[in-house]
Structure 1
Amino acid sequence: MSDFINETAETGRLITIKKISILDIVEKSGVSLVTVSRVLNNVPTVREENRQKVLQAIKELDYRPNSAARSLARGTTGLIGLTLITLNDTVFDGIVHSVNEHLEENGYLLALSVSSPKEEEAGKQNSFLFQEDRVDGIIVLSPLNEKQVILELKRKKIPFVIIDNHLESSKALTVNVDNYAGGYKATKHLLDLGHTHIAHVSGPEHFLSVRERKRGFAEALEQAGVAPCIVAHTDFGIRCGYEIAMGWIQQGILPTAVFAGDDALALGVMDAFRAHGYRIPDDISIIGYDDQVFASEIHPQLTTVRQPTEQMGKEAVRLLLKLIEGSKRNSSVLLQPELLIRQTTANYKHREKQ
């Protein structure tokens, strides 16, 4: 039960007033949020016993429906689901916070489902949310089993939007970032600094974002008439970037600049080269992707490509609520990334032999 402070006109004293929410009714009545919202919206399928519990709780709490509760009339539960495979990522974290904020503004509550990659690949990640009448709609964040997700949600007629999808010709409504443009901007920045010996560390290729970033990298080099120094594929993670760069150093492959497919890979590459006495950015320039929270906190601060997480969440909510309202005129959204030039990239300088 939330509080707010009010000042009385008569005494000028501050008093605390209890603000009753729909969750207080859930707690008081002992029934589910779905049941409470159905009673508030006069849905006839509620068992009479549960209806009376809710009505009694409303009476005892002296509940007055606010705008958020009234907005539940647009759906059947007042809940929107969001599924993802990890919270250990500040980009995903930013998207979840944005989704939650914009859902609250529209009178909805967020139900979060977090699963492991193994569970998702096995199709077990959505056993709770992917049920009829559990939620009014679902936002699916970066699904590994996209085809299965789309088929299941369409079969169950649950409105949904996918953020960061991985099928090139998706049949779903999507919100994506133009990763081709991001890869192009990152590589063009290195070229503009005079680098022509540029390497790329790419993540797992089943991600559309990874393929598009690499495509942008290749296109920028081709337009400049420059061949890539080397392109390596690996998993995401600091250790993976470190091991790739260590392999280059041992083979005598020494680029003057590296475009890493994400910030963790970039950090691993930095660690490997610095361990061998190379200075960043004096000897080698490095640029990442995503603008994870650590990118501006390490030294030197990482040049990177920022994903517009707030916009991604906002657009996904907007599209999903339009679907729930029955709108047929909806288009997928492609947002633009932003190049953030910090301290790990610099003009090319002829490197003396180590």
Structure 2
Amino acid sequence: MPDVPTLAQVAAEAGVSPATASRVLTGSVRVSTSTRRQVHDAISRLGYVRHRAPRGGTGRRCDLTVAVVVCEPSQRLFTEPFYARMITTAEEVLTAHGIPLTVMTASSATSTIATPQLVAGGVDGILLIGARERHPLVVTLAASGIPVRSAGRLPDGVDMPYVDMDNHDGGRQAAEHLLLGGRRAIAAIAGPPGLPASRDRLDGFTRTLSLAGMPAVPVAYGDFTHSSGVHAAQWLLRRMPHLDAIFAASDVMAAAAVQTLRRAGRRVPDDVAVIGFDDAPIARRTSPTLTTVRQPVEEFAATATRLLLRSMASPDPVRDNPTLPTELVVRESA
């Protein structure tokens, strides 16, 4: 059996002292960004995993604590229904096991504040939501030895168990529906390119159109907010005045596109068909009601939470990474 890498070896590989490597793992703010990157690169190359001492107490489940960590600014937590649905379902699963839930946000800007509590033994398991590329917390948690389950596929190069939606197939379904409806001047409003779910939705959509002979699809990028959907739709209208369909990577951005099209004198769906993604409550309140790709949010959260609990109860890693199906829901907008 090969030797297990030590923290001292990580430090030597990174060209820093063991004390500096330790500060990186605990999220200390007294480490430069370049040094932090050197240590994380060394961790990845060596396959180092931090081993935590068991917490005191009886080991009963009432002594355990789970944290939901949302990799977004706190205002997003309170304005987007997706997060409320995820957290509510996770709490229901944990409550049935007598385990309390802590909710934290950790954007790239605030991760150094959240990291020390998470990796220093403050929690026994972490449900991670919205992990993106180059997020400093993600690599630290992957090497921490703490049971972690990501809700959503991880960025390339990060080894962490996850549960995912079939976002690629959701994009495919949206594209096929527009093609079957005779739409040919089609554009997309994508989510943040650093988020794997966003990339998968766009890739499934554009690949399907490309196979149908439409290789050049104009794409505007948003961040799932209403304002970004407005700006993206305005940009697409300037770029492609005669467009006849828009696929948006979230229902909030799709609703914003409908509003923008109406203000521009374009009728939905007569002039422009619009498809969203999520099947959030706003999809049924928008006029016309949104055709959208439904993702089973509650099942998603429950599955991720239960697999996290299995990891917390087992000395062996639980490496099952299920992908849940998505489904096109046809309403009035397309």
TM-score, scaled to structure 2: 0.75
* Alignment partners' CA distance in 2, 1:159 and 1:139: 9
**5+ residue gaps, structure 1:** 1-36, 42-71, 346-354
1:259 is displaced (CA, Å) by 0.6
Matched, 1:113 2:101: no
1:153 is displaced (CA, Å) by 2.9
* Residue range with higher mean Cα deviation, 196-205 or 229-238: 229-238
Q: Aligned residue for 1:92? A: 83
- Structure 2 matches for 1:3-42, cutoff 5 A? 41=58
User: Which among 119, 125, 135 is matched to residue 123 of structure 2?
Assistant: 135
1:111 is displaced (CA, Å) by 1.1
User: Which among 247, 254, 265 is matched to residue 235 of structure 2?
Assistant: 247
Q: Aligned residue for 1:157? A: 145
Question: CA 1:125–1:309 in 2, change beyond 3 Å: closer, same or farther?
Answer: same
Q: Aligned residue for 2:321? A: 332
- Structure 2 matches for 1:203-242, cutoff 5 A? 203-242=191-230
* Alignment partners' CA distance in 1, 2:189 and 2:269: 17
Q: What code does the residue aligned with 2:64 have?
A: G
1:236 is displaced (CA, Å) by 3.0
Q: Aligned residue for 2:162? A: 174
* Alignment partners' CA distance in 2, 1:126 and 1:206: 21
* Secondary structure, aligned partner of 1:126: helix
* Alignment partners' CA distance in 1, 2:104 and 2:65: 13
**5+ residue gaps, structure 2:** 1-54
* Secondary structure, aligned partner of 2:115: coil
Question: CA 1:228–1:340 in 2, change beyond 3 Å: closer, same or farther?
Answer: farther
* Alignment partners' CA distance in 1, 2:298 and 2:199: 23
* Secondary structure, aligned partner of 1:118: coil
1:264 is displaced (CA, Å) by 2.0
* Alignment partners' CA distance in 1, 2:146 and 2:317: 15
Judge conservation of contact 1:198–1:258 (CA < 8 Å) in 2.
Answer: yes
* Residue range with higher mean Cα deviation, 247-256 or 278-287: 247-256
Q: Aligned residue for 1:69? A: none
Q: Aligned residue for 1:102? A: 93
Q: Aligned residue for 1:83? A: 69
1:165 is displaced (CA, Å) by 3.8
Q: Deviations over 1:38-59 (max 9, x none)?
A: 66x3xxxxxxxxxxxxxxxxxx
Judge conservation of contact 1:199–1:228 (CA < 8 Å) in 2.
Answer: no
Judge conservation of contact 1:117–1:144 (CA < 8 Å) in 2.
Answer: no
Q: What code does the residue aligned with 2:93 have?
A: H
Judge conservation of contact 1:146–1:165 (CA < 8 Å) in 2.
Answer: no
Q: CA RMSD in A?
A: 2.3
State how many pairs are aligned: 274
Q: Deviations over 1:106-142 (max 9, x none)?
A: 221111113455313xx3333433321x222111111
User: Greater CA radius of gyration, 1 or 2?
Assistant: 1
User: Which among 286, 298, 304 is matched to residue 316 of structure 1?
Assistant: 304
* Residue range with higher mean Cα deviation, 123-132 or 305-314: 123-132
Question: CA 1:221–1:296 in 2, change beyond 3 Å: closer, same or farther?
Answer: same
User: Which among 254, 260, 279 is matched to residue 267 of structure 2?
Assistant: 279
What fraction of aligned residue pairs are identical, expressed as a percent? 28
Q: Aligned residue for 1:292? A: 280
* Secondary structure, aligned partner of 1:128: helix
1:206 is displaced (CA, Å) by 0.7
1:200 is displaced (CA, Å) by 0.9
1:237 is displaced (CA, Å) by 2.1
Q: What code does the residue aligned with 2:118 have?
A: L
Question: CA 1:130–1:328 in 2, change beyond 3 Å: closer, same or farther?
Answer: closer
